[in-house]
Amino acid sequence: MRYEPHSTIDFGTGVTGSNPATGNALEVSGDHVIIGDQGYNGRDGRVFVYKWNAGNLELHQTLSKGNGLPGNGWFGYALDVSGDWLVVSTTHQTGWASPSGAEGGVECFKRNTLTDEWQWQQSVIGPDSASTDEFGLCVMVSGNWMIVGAPYRDNPVSNCGKIYFYELVNGVWTYRQAFQEDTPTASNTFGLAVEIDGEWAFAHTYAGAAGNGAMLCYRLTAGTWSLHQTITLASPISGGAFGRPMRCDGNRLVAGCSLRGSNFGLGGYVVFFELNESNQWIQTDIKSPPMLLSQSWFPNNLAISGRFIVAGSLFSDRSNHRTADYDPAINGSNGDGKGRTVVYEQMTDGTWATHPIQIPNLNFEDWSGSSVAVSPDGEYIYSLAFGTNVRATMRLHVWKFAKRQIDGLSADSVSA
């Protein structure tokens, strides 16, 4: 299977200086590609909506937060889309609580089906918002339900975290339930990653001082969410931070173990799960990156659509690539922070094939792979580089399926 470069989109100069992230949120919905740029205008933030037109991606709309509160809210830090609803975090938003400071929030937009434009509808805040909660640091939506993480919630102990469920009722996102771990633990940052897909929802926890990581799985029954299963690695890894990130699609679940090894020096794992007949999520596979990625934070981000999974690694250290996987003529000179994108494809026998994607002419600290996405049919792969040219500008890389190799012959169908 081979993907070839299709196009790149540059977003201009972003934030420079200390902690100069410009954008790391990317989602695909139909023919829309939606990108968050939380670093814009002193981290006030904005969201770009691109749309496919005659084989080209064109800017369709630019969104800003609708709550009228002060800037520096990091609007666009995280986002998700389901149907006609787009939810966008303002994770550092102030003005909701007293004392105020980074309590966070989520801005909700609905697509007008006549104009095909997203219109602001509502601000969602935690029912118990407090300073430094960073409510919305991670937010996901599926159908009529939204899950929001507030990982730096300090009640009852510092940075123990909390998650919240909201239901769409008569066009209004309405608070329903909240959960913490049975024993809230300092620095577990419960809710640092969340996911929701139909009747299933998941939240990451560092799971204590060892930092092995776990996913708490919740199930929706008769309108109520309850804890269903605690998911851990079959062979836990100390300090692995398993469960961050995570994505689910139907009966497939994929999660990262991105801090594998001391100071994430061994490159991490992608871990695959499937739902069995007893409605338990069972680990079916675990894969190292297809090249040695020292200090790579692999995977930093995941996307899933059917039998295609995409993993991004923004901190990839190119100086540690094996020669067979790394072509300096394509990827530039050695250095760190260039990033990497990998496609996994589930084959007919259930196994996962690995397809590394190389981005031409990466630079030091481009941080490609900060966010990734895949079209529903696997035809297009997207990777966001939020630090292009030493973190001063953001760039979207797009690849298009070219051909598949089958027994020495090529096939031009992505579904071959």
pLDDT score recorded for residue 365: 57
N- to C-terminal Cα distance for the chain? 10
Which has more pLDDT, 254 or 14?
Answer: 254
Residue 385, phi then psi, degrees to nearest 5: -105, 105
More confidently predicted of 72 and 50: 50
Q: Are 298 and 313 in contact (CB under 8 A)?
A: yes
Q: Which tokens is 238 given?
A: 């100390």
pLDDT at 411: 40
pTM value is 0.89
Q: Where is pLDDT greater, at 225 or 376?
A: 225
- Please say if the pLDDT value at position 335 is more than 50: no
Q: Which residue has the higher pLDDT, 308 or 292?
A: 308
pLDDT digits (tens, 9 = 90+) for 266-300: 568 899 999 999 999 999 999 887 765 555 678 88
Instruction: Tell me what pLDDT residue 364 has.
Output: 57
Whether residue 414 contacts residue 11, with contact meaning beta carbons closer than 8 Å, is answered with no
Q: What is the DSSP letter of 389?
A: H
The stretch 110-137 carries a mean pLDDT of: 94
User: Would you say residue 359 has pLDDT above 90?
Assistant: no
* Report for 208-222, 309-323, 401-415: range of highest mean pLDDT: 208-222
* Distance (Å, whole) CA 21 – CA 337: 13
- Mean pLDDT for 130-159 is 95
The pLDDT of residue 315:
60
pLDDT of residue 262: 47
Phi, psi of 88, deg, nearest 5: -130, 130
Predicted confidence at residue 100, as pLDDT, reads 62
* Integer CA distances (angstroms), 377 to 311, 348, 374, 401, 415, in order: 17, 16, 8, 10, 8
**Contact 273/255 with Cβ under 8 angstroms?**
yes
Residue 194's pLDDT band, with cuts at 50, 70 and 90, is very high
pLDDT at residue 338 greater than cutoff 90: no
Q: In the prediction, which pLDDT does 25 show?
A: 92
CB atoms inside a 10 Å sphere around CB 286: 15
Query: HSE (CB half, 13 Å, CA atoms) of 316?
Result: 37
189 confidence band (pLDDT: 50, 70, 90): very high
| pLDDT score of 41 more than 50 | yes
Per-residue pLDDT at 404: 53
**Which residue would you say has higher pLDDT here, 323 or 388?**
388
Q: How confident is the model at residue 323 (pLDDT cuts 50, 70, 90)?
A: very low
Angle at 306 between CA 303 and CA 310, to 5 degrees: 25
**Exposure b/e, 98-115, CB count within 10 A at least 16 = b:** eeeebbbbbbbbbbeeee
Domains of the chain: residue spans and CATH: 21-198 (2.130.10.130)
Q: How far from the centroid of its chain's Cα atoms is residue 172's Cα?
A: 25
Which residues have a Cβ under 8 Å from the Cβ of 231 and sit 6 or more positions away? 202, 214, 215, 216, 217, 243, 255, 273, 281
